[in-house]
Amino acid sequence: MALVERAGELLDKDALMARAWSGVTVEESNLRAQITALRRVLAEGGTGENYVVTEPGRGYRFVAAVARSTCEAVQAQALPKGHNLPGRLTRPIGRTDVVAMVSSRLRRSRFLTIIGAGGIGKTTVALAAADELQASYKDGARFVDLAPLKDPRLVPSALASVLGVAIRSENPYPALTSFLKDKQMLILLDNCEHVVEAAAELAEEVLKAASGVHVLATSREPLRAEDERVQRLLPLETPPASATLTAAQALTFPAIQLFVERAGASAGGYELTDADVPVVAQICRRLDGIALAIELAAGRIDAFGVRGVAARLDNLFALLTRGRRTALPRHQTLSATFDWSYELLPEVERFVMRRLGIFAGRFTMEAATAVAEDADIAAAEVDESVANLVDKSLVGADVGGSAVHYRMTDTARAYAGKKLQEAGEFQMVARRHAQYLRNQLERAKADWETQPTAEWLAVHTSQIDDLRTALDWAFSSEGDASIGVALTVAAVPLWFEMSLMEECRTGAERALAMLEAGPAKDEQRRMQLYVAVAWSQMYTTGSARDTGTAWATAFAIAEALGDTDYQLRALWGTWATHVNRGEFGDALALAKRFSNLAETRADANDRLLGDRLTGVALHFLGDQSGARRHIERMLASYVAPVSRSHAVRFQFDQRVTARMTLGRVLWLQGYPDQALRCVDINIADALSINHTLSLCNALAQAACPVALLAGDLAAAERYTTTLLELTQRDAFDIWHAYGGCFAGELLIKRGDLATGLPRLRASVDQLRQASFVQYLTAFLGALATGLADAGDYDQALATIDDAIARSARGEERWYSPELLRIKGVILWGMTAVDAAEQHFQESLELARKQEALGWELRTAIAFARLKREQGRGGEAHDLLRPIHASFREGHGTGDLRLATALLDELASRRR
């Protein structure tokens, strides 16, 4: 500018340096370098002396001809009508609503900035809105791409160039505003993030001077200019992970639409199939619904196929490297997109961003400070940096709860993790992260004693992904096993409250093995880990694990430490092991030991829990009156802790668990309506406490069997379906096998023997393998019944004899009357009528002894049918009538309907 203003004159080198570097001391070499660069630009490969001549020791002279025109002449030029908006090669998929919103807001507010993460589609939306709006402006729309600019001072010149306005002074704004003051125009400033202050200044100057001009900008952060409105662009919607969709249903989601459209363009006509839907949905979710990332992934389908792309997602930045050749360089690879944003950050924000990459899930500002703060960056700087990263769309913020939580997308986290490794900081930050999680969960373990369970879970469930990350590091070759052991012990309440049994088992076994192999034995943690291992092993079927050994070890350590609480836990676990093995006499003895020890503690609920354990053992031993007395006493006095949950100490909600036994006892004693109501209340309570393991227990131990016993097949199907879905989702192997047994039994009751028998048999085998047999005799009885219905009497007899022998070995007498009845039915089918009568008679006597009116009625129905077939209708009627008359409720349930119909038939024959 200085040379051209005084073209032909000699400009002293000192005067030039003062003009270019006002107030700054620089060496003469700087001037020489700038003159060399100027000559290169002006000459474009020719000799620069045609323009600028050096006079050695004095200065420089601009010698080319210069023509001058007035500012007014420029303003008089006619502005071309229409627009210079670039043609769109692709349609804005899934953005119809946001384009309409941008258009509407811009008409009202004049100045709007679309912000969002790199590659999310800001320019696409802005161009679509501008295209929709440009006809409503008399002077059209002008697109100004700021991406190529490296010097913020050139931002006004970029607009001037698009408008055809000549800038002839150091202050560009008078010429621009003079030109625009009477215009009606939309100006689109694209890619403002690297020149954000200059873009903000330009927008303010233009809008103040030209009332008919509207400005639409795109940036990764707000411009923070006067009167600016902000529209944050969200990711494209993806299907939820739990959804099961057809291809047609999946294509209603914008992320899937974009993937399929781009894949079709690159892979020669790709079409989405139902089989591909889960894979494509997973890809789109992993890419956070970011349009550019989805396009890049779809572009690799021709090389790897959809499953190959999905398998390579753990290495995102190597996979997503082939964008359109005509795209901006930063849009040709995912890494380049993030490089653009990262390089624009101040050093302190880069520092914080890469350290935040250690978090696998949501995190608080406290957590961010724990991993990012050090001698070079204070907590206040971390706080400010996180806020700035939120503004720049590199970190998301959830401000809806009582505490603010932050989260990085998977793609941003992967990039930050890469930078963390490159900076050589990963091990140090991973250690801080694991130590922070350990401290948090140790406090959480203490808080669990005083905080309501729902509140406790609301605070801590979001830590589960970071717990997994921290444990993986701690037990790695470069980690710290001592942190891993402490973290595992602290995590046990969280695993149990979230019903993550298999995860707890594998984590506790890993930590225990590490602790046992170490030189020093931490007895407190050994005890806690043995309890965690034994608890979680009880509900997985991988092998017949000896939980009794783990419980015995835990009890011995607790006894040596004088820890009564853990002695009670170990006694409960040992009791449960015997119940699960069908060893009910031993279970009763352990219940008494538990009750005696509980008497030494101040917690009345522990003594009441002894009542529940005793009641369960008595129920299986056949003493239904004693069982009901203990269970009802427990339920009458037990006060559910308002400040903590019993679930972690004794695995289940205790009232829910007690009602499971009560529901079965009520049915056995002849109160089927009360039994069904008890089940309904129990399921509602289990749902209300949001504890999946307690819910599965209630379904498997009461709801499903009582519904089947009562003949309510619709309810049985509903409960069984829920049980199978929950146990499949959370990998509760034992309860899933139970669900399979109930499903098979339900099919048999409905006459589908071909499907029901194999399913029931396979699930029974699973329970045998796991040595989890507390209800196995009942399932064997159902299997024997199905085999008899199918005419396979020999196999039916062998199965029922196996069940009777098992019942005798474990003193499992509660089901014995039914086993005798089933054997009588099988013998009757084999024409061994006398033997059948004998078994029916024994069944009736045992049911009466146990006061099990439910079994007594069921056997009386079978015995009456046999007598009817023998022509002894009067005897049949006299046998069945008084038992039927003993019921005061339940006349709509299955067995009572059968009994009523049979009595009516027998009475009519008498007449």
Is 531 among the domain residues? yes
Q: Is 365 exposed, middle or buried (0-12, 13-18, 19+ CB in 10 A)?
A: middle
Residue 307 lies in a domain: yes
- Domain match, 137 and 268 both: no
530 shares a domain with 448 = yes
Residue 34's CATH number: 1.10.10.10
Q: Strand pairing of 185-190 and 59-62?
A: unpaired
pLDDT of residue 317: 60
Beta bridge partners of 668: none
Q: How far lies 802's CA from each of 218, 777, 780, 808, in Å?
A: 76, 9, 8, 10
Whether the CA torsion 598, 599, 602, 603 is positive or negative: it is positive
Within a domain: residue 129?
yes
> Are residues 28 and 89 located together in one domain of the fold?
no
Q: What is the spatial distance between Cα 906 and Cα 891, in angstroms, rounded to a whole number? A: 18
Q: Are residues 435 and 401 in the same domain?
A: no
What the block records as the tokens of 453 is: 């369970």
Beta strands 111-115; 213-219: pairing state:
parallel
Shared-domain flag, residues 386 and 499: no
Do residues 669 and 623 lie in contact, with contact meaning Cβ atoms separated by under 8 Å?
no
In Å, how far are 302, 767, 788, 800 from 777, measured between CA atoms? 56, 11, 16, 9
Q: Give SS3 for 244.
A: coil
**Separation between Cα atoms, residue 460 and residue 488, nearest integer Å:** 15
Whether 116 and 226 map to the same domain: the answer is: yes
- Mutual orientation of helices 334-344 and 291-298 as an angle, nearest 10°? 150
First to last CA, the chain: 125
* Residue 147 confidence (pLDDT): 82
Same domain assignment for residues 160 and 140: yes
Distances, alpha carbon 325 to alpha carbons 90, 294, 321, 531, in Å:
15, 17, 11, 60
pLDDT of residue 320: 54
- DSSP string computed for 179-196: HHTT--EEEEEE--GGGH
CATH number of the domain that 179 lies in? 3.40.50.300
Query: What tokens appear for 874 in the block?
Result: 């009067």
Q: Are residues 394 and 485 in the same domain?
A: no
122 and 44, same structural domain?
A: no
386: DSSP letter: H
CB–CB of 306/341 below 8 Å?
Answer: no
Number of domains composing the chain? 5
Cα 112–Cα 79–Cα 211 angle in degrees, nearest 5? 40
Q: What is the pTM of this model?
A: 0.65
Sign of CA dihedral 728, 730, 731, 733: negative
Nearest partner of 895 among 622, 673, 620, judged by Cα? 673
Q: Rounded to 10 degrees, what is the CA torsion of 815, 817, 821, 827?
A: 90
Domain boundary among 62, 84, 107: 62
Domain boundary among 501, 536, 571: 536
Task: Tell me which of 209, 232, 255 is where a domain ends.
Answer: 232
If asked whether residues 104 and 190 sit together in one domain, one would say: yes
**Cα–Cα dist 289/291, whole Å:** 6
How long a stretch of residues is the chain? Answer: 911
Q: Has residue 602 been placed in a domain?
A: no
**Host domain of residue 297:** 247-330
Alpha carbon separation from 674 to 664, 668, 694, 728, 818 (Å, rounded): 10, 11, 21, 31, 21
- Chunk the chain into consecutive blocks of 10 residues (it has 911) and report each block's average pLDDT, rounded to whole numbers: 82 82 70 74 53 80 72 45 68 85 92 88 90 91 86 88 80 89 93 91 94 94 92 89 86 89 75 90 86 80 82 67 48 66 87 93 92 90 92 82 82 87 94 95 82 78 90 94 94 84 89 86 91 79 63 93 92 89 92 94 86 96 96 89 49 82 96 96 86 84 95 95 86 84 96 96 89 84 96 96 92 95 96 96 97 97 95 94 96 95 90 62
**What is the amino acid identity at position 617?**
A
Owner of token pair 């079709």: 264
Is residue 240 assigned to a domain?
no
592 falls within a domain: no
Is the separation of the CB atoms in 847 and 657 below 8 Å?
no
Does residue 657 form part of some domain?
no
Specify whether 225 is located in the same domain as 89.
yes
Q: State the CB neighbour count (10 A cutoff) for residue 858.
A: 23
Residue 202: inside a domain, yes or no?
yes
Q: Which residues contact 349 (CB under 8 A, 6 or more apart)?
A: 385, 388, 389
Rounded-to-integer distance, Cα 19 and Cα 561, Å: 84
Q: Which amino acid is at 138?
A: K
Same domain, 177 and 196: yes
